Amino acid sequence: MEIRERGSLLGLRLYNTAVKKKEEFHPLQDKEVGLYVCGVTVYDVCHIGHARSAIVFDVLVRYLRARGFRVTYVRNFTDVDDKIIKKANETGRSTGDIAEEYIAAFYDDMEKIGVLNADKEPKATEHIDGMIEMVSTLIEKGVAYVAGNDVFFSVEKFAGYGDLSGRKLEDMQAGSRIAVDEKKRHPMDFVLWKEAKPGEPWWPGPWGKGRPGWHLECSVMSNYFLGPTFDIHGGGKDLLFPHHENERAQSISANGGQFARYWVHNGFVTVESEKMSKSLGNFITIRDALAKYHPEVLRLFLLSKHYRSPIDFSGDTVSGLQTGLVRVYRTLKKLEELLGPFEKDDDFRKSQEDFLSAEPREPFFAEFIGAMDDDLNTAGAVGVLFEKVKNLNKSMEGLEGDLDQTVRANLASERNQLCAAGDILGLLRTEPDLFFEQVSDAAGEIDRNEIQKMVDERSEARVKRDWARADVIRDRLKEQGIVLEDGPQGTSWRWDV
């Protein structure tokens, strides 16, 4: 097996927020990548915005590993925060209990949508000593100051403040809507250590009882596991300012180095063209979505647009992608009928290894890699996968029974390629019959009324002898995987699975 050397990933280009353009990706060390992604604050269940970020970086990790790189993936849990404290006080529970409940919920959600665990998953409360040490270092270096029992970072002492987010300090000050703390020397100074209030968790520090600021947590944990300079820092676009800007400032000030060399941010998720908000009643948790859609349908939806672009969650869009995924699984089912059940055997592993070669043997892999190398263009990669399915279906037309050995070998190779690509995207991981059963249960709940409306419309067209209209409706339903059965008692329908 040919493992690519360091220069091998010259083909991979990532949009680096720090320089506002795509750059060729060169890791610091041969065949090794250090990746840190800001995790969730565990005070509630995750929403589909969290799902998008988790899936984007899951695919990045899968892709890098498929290309022969050893990835150290660090994703934290913020388990001490104002929102956690608020929920604990409202429910009469400890912050630790709240955090543990929602960490468990996070793992449950991630498992369902096929997100792999990170290699390191630290909790903020496990690194308090390191946070106190970093604050002390920043004070000693003159870039932080003590104000009462609080400690603040002085943004004016870091020359590059604002470079990551593309903001100028004077503009931020002029446009600031943040209530200015009288303790601050500058309105944009941010807290490193905050004095504990009654009823809040606290730790003993040189400045009194308190707890670390949110931005400090990620700086300490990324440095602990990956060092002062590492390859990629990821997260949602909403974290760019102030969180990532502040992380960068305090990390470079305390530890030297470059901190993150590539900054990768995924775009927002809207719902029916509106910003997701509990007050608007359009707040969709992962659990809400999974009650209506198969996990792979949700995952496919979140990969159907380029990760940096905004993506709008709508029933029509998701249902359309569900139809496409059903077609893919029908192809896999047909292959299963011709070849037998799919197994990740030696031939499949050889297909996976083809991803590692300097020049993939199969044109399909070359096209798939071409899309993924272009700033992780999963939308393009999905398109390549769907085109593969279309061609596979053409090659299977009329095939049945015992197959010629050459035909059988070619089909097996095609299936291996398709499933190897699916592995990179975290798709096609369900046995076809089980997928059909699951998607029928989920999709039947959300579309049943609309389907019945279309069936009734077709029945009315048949009564009027509008056969053309009736055929159009039948064909539209068939495209969605629905079979109509006309009988003496009228028309019934079922999922074609």
| Full domain range(s) for residue 142 | 16-275
pLDDT at 277: 78
Domain edge (last residue) among 396, 412, 430: 430
Q: What is the pLDDT of residue 358?
A: 59
* Within-domain flag for 449: yes
Residue 356 lies in a domain: yes
| 74 shares its domain with 198 | yes
Tokens (6 digits) for 81: 């925060």
Q: What is the pLDDT of residues 142-163, one digit of tens each?
A: 999 999 999 999 999 999 999 9
Q: pLDDT digits over 174-225, tens only?
A: 545 555 677 899 999 999 999 999 989 999 999 999 999 999 999 999 999 9
Q: Are residues 367 and 385 in the same domain?
A: yes
Domain boundary among 275, 306, 336: 275
Ordered DSSP codes for 24-88: E---SBTTEEEEEE---BSSS--BHHHHHHHHHHHHHHHHHHHTT-EEEEEE-BB-SSHHHHHHH
Q: Report the amino acid identity of residue 100.
A: E
Same domain, 217 and 108: yes
What secondary structure does DSSP assign to 146-198, as a single string? Answer: EETTEEEE-GGG-TTTTTTTT--HHHHHHT--SPPPTT-SSTT-EEEEEEPPT
**Residue 42, Ramachandran bin (φ over 0: left; ψ between -120 and 50: alpha; else beta):** beta
Note whether residue 307 is domain-resident.
Answer: no
Do 417 and 447 share a domain, yes or no? no
**Is the per-residue pLDDT at 312 higher than 70?**
yes
Q: Is residue 221 located within the same domain as residue 251?
A: yes
CA distance 419 to 427: 8
- Amino acid, single-letter form, for residue 274: E
Domain membership of residue 308 (yes or no) is: no
The 8 Å CB, 24+ separation contacts for 54-58 are: 54/110, 54/113, 54/115, 55/113, 55/114, 55/115, 55/299, 55/302, 55/303, 55/426, 56/234, 56/266, 56/302, 56/307, 56/376, 56/378, 57/234, 57/264, 57/266, 58/114, 58/115, 58/116, 58/426
Same domain, 416 and 457: no
Q: Which amino acid is at 291?
A: A
The answer on 480 and 333 residing in a single domain is no
Q: Tell me: do 458 and 393 sit in the same domain.
A: no
Of 436, 437, 471, the C-alpha closest to 454 is 471
| Lowest-confidence segment of 23-37, 54-68, 205-219, 332-346 by average pLDDT | 332-346
Residue 278 has a pLDDT of 75
User: Is 300 contained in some domain?
Assistant: no
Q: Determine, yes or no, domain membership for 144.
A: yes
Do 247 and 121 belong together in one domain?
Answer: yes
Give the pLDDT confidence of 280-308 residue by residue, as tens digits. 788 899 999 999 899 999 999 999 999 99
**Pair (337, 420) in one structural domain:** yes
Residues 28, 174, single domain; the answer is yes
pLDDT digits (tens, 9 = 90+) for 388-439: 999 999 999 888 878 899 999 999 999 999 999 999 999 999 999 899 888 8
| Same-domain pairing of 426 and 444 | no
Alpha carbon 489 to its chain centroid, in Å, reads: 48
In sequence order, the 6+-apart residues with CB closer than 8 A to the CB of 99 are 42, 43, 77, 79, 80, 84, 123, 125
Task: Decide if pLDDT at 172 tops 80.
Answer: no
Residue 11: inside a domain, yes or no?
no
- Domain annotation covers residue 245: yes
Helices 214-226, 128-140: inter-axial angle, 10-degree rounding = 100
The C-alpha atoms of residue 18 and residue 249 are separated, in whole angstroms, by 13
What backbone phi and psi angles, to 5 degrees, belong to 15?
A: -75, 115
pLDDT tens figures, 314-373: 988 998 899 899 999 999 999 999 999 998 888 888 888 876 665 777 889 999 999 999
Provide the domain count of the chain: 3
Q: Of all helices (H) and strands (E), which one includes residue 329?
A: helix 315-339
Q: Last residue of a domain, which of 380, 403, 430? A: 430
Query: Percent of the chain scored above 70 by pLDDT?
Result: 92
pLDDT averaged over the chain? 90
**CATH number of the domain that residue 267 is part of:** 3.40.50.620
Whichever domain contains 350, its CATH number is 1.20.120.640
